[in-house]
Amino acid sequence: MNKILSTLALASQVLLCLSCSSRTSISEEEYMDKLRGGWAGKIIGVQFGQPHEFHCLGTIDEGPIEWDNSLVEGALGQDDIYTQLSFMQTLERHGLDASSDLLAEAFAGAGFDLFHANLQARKNWRDGLRPPMTGSAQYNIHADDIDFQIDADFIGFMCPGMPVLARSYCDRIGPIMNDGDGIYGGVFIATMHSLAFFSDDILDIVEGALRNIPAESGYARCVSDVVACYKADPSDWKAAWKVVQEKWGDHICHPSHPFDIDAKINGAYVVIGLLYGGGDFRKTMEISIRCGQDADCNSSNAAALWGVIHGFKAIPEEFRQGLGSISGKKFAFTDYSWEEAVDCTARFAKENILRSGGAVNDGKWTIKLQKPHFTGVCRQSFPDMRFVRSIFTTDSAWVYKGNWESFVEWDQHNEPIVQTVEAGASAEISFEGDMVSLVGGWDTDCGMADIYIDGTLVRRIDSYFTYRSGLVPINRNVLFLASGLGPGAHTIRIVNTADKNPASGGNRLMFNRIDIYDKS
């Protein structure tokens, strides 16, 4: 009899748990507390990690991590926040069905600074490309970078319990700036937020979000390695970090530098913080920060998810109280204060719930919950591609014709930049590899050049931009990218032209090197 009663009691507990986990409603009060927690976590997390951004590259940050409420003010100028708020503004002005082109147009024309994949996408748009080509690996060496991953929180916030719907928004916004794993990073983050409104089990949330991206993708495999490490030993986050570093520590876009802004590895750091943080707000952020690389972005994504799971009221007072200093203040380049961002997100959420067959009434939101599942073909930006070598402008193999001169930026005396303003001036070199990129800079007086591969004109490039860009050693611009060249020797020839964008002050061309890649 006791055995029967025990079995019935266990069955009742299981049924009760299933009932709790499959609930389809949330009170407006609870949703708003979780939403405020998400946005507050985003703000606090990015500022907690900001002093440590790219402080440790391929090493663990063992130093002190301090918090001061005065840090919160800096969030008003953070690209982690104002970029996604700009997408929200476009959706508010044009409706939730706004096209990728409309979203990209507003993004490309906004006044704020951008970097890496976002910057290249803006340049691609202004050069006449449209999504998904603006983020495509065909035109964007940063396709797998972190950019969409740090911009995607709001999508999950406004799709509570609806991860399939969240992915549909990602399908419109992600290809603006990313491709392959760069898009999957944004889908993963947005999905975790979506699931967190109805689950407080971080491992369950992580594994659920993995189901919304292709299992064979590099991103899913990288995060799955973290999950496997956690299941093997939930007490040793450094062991998980080591596995990720050894297996996923190479990044195609900065091949000769430990700086790594790849979505996969930084997404893994977010998950390491969440899993090993043990439900503690500070510890979750600290572990994500100590993993290194883009520490502020990773802390921000992790803290945002913690905020959705636990709600605003659960955030420790030492972190919450700093938000009072930015009350009513607008984030840079946006129409929103953080309170207004919360209110706008909630309006979007209500509309999404109704559109998806749910109901909103009497302070209770009933949602048709969706199960995350990936459908479609797995996209990988640079499959099996590995970096071979760089050939700098000082290499004697270069054949220069016409008038060229060199200059040095950032004391990079071993990596001088060459430039010309002469129409017809050319530079040519041979190499062996399946992919090649031309690395240099853009400026307000730069013009157009023709690129020949193996004697065939393949593209005319325009290196004009509205401000001088690409001369920082770890953030130089890719002027040209070509892949699928096939095995064997190839030549690249760059020929300056007299043509220029009407807005440009000249036809100057400047570059630093070519980077060569091949199939592994």
User: Can you give the residue ranges of every domain in the chain?
Assistant: 22-366, 385-519
Query: Which pairs from 415-418 meet CB under 8 Å and 24+ separation?
Result: 415/473, 415/512, 415/513, 416/392, 416/512, 417/393, 417/441, 417/471, 417/510, 417/511, 417/512, 418/393, 418/510, 418/511, 418/512
Tell me the Ramachandran region of residue 130: left when phi exceeds 0, alpha when psi lies from -120 to 50, beta otherwise: beta
pLDDT reported for residue 251: 84
Counting as low any pLDDT under 70, the low residues of the chain are: 1-23
pLDDT reported for residue 254: 77
pLDDT reported for residue 21: 43
Q: Which residue matches tokens 């979000």?
A: 209
Say which CATH superfamily domain 385-519 falls into. Galactose-binding domain-like (2.60.120.260)
User: Is there a contact between 186 and 152 (Cβ–Cβ < 8 Å)?
Assistant: yes
Q: Read off the DSSP letter of residue 293.
A: S
The domain 22-366 is placed in CATH, from the list 2.40.37.10, 1.10.4080.10, 2.40.70.10, 3.90.420.10, at 1.10.4080.10
pLDDT reported for residue 474: 81
Rounded-to-integer distance, Cα 291 and Cα 225, Å = 15
144-to-406, 441, 504 alpha-carbon distances in Å: 32, 21, 30
pLDDT reported for residue 383: 94
Tens-place pLDDT, residues 171-194: 999 999 999 999 999 999 999 999
pLDDT reported for residue 256: 76
pLDDT reported for residue 472: 85
User: Is there a contact between 462 and 127 (Cβ–Cβ < 8 Å)?
Assistant: yes
pLDDT reported for residue 22: 59
pLDDT reported for residue 410: 87
Rounded-to-integer distance, Cα 494 and Cα 425, Å = 8
Domains 22-366 and 385-519 share a fold: no
Tens-place pLDDT, residues 89-138: 999 999 999 999 999 999 999 998 899 999 999 999 999 999 999 999 99
pLDDT reported for residue 253: 77
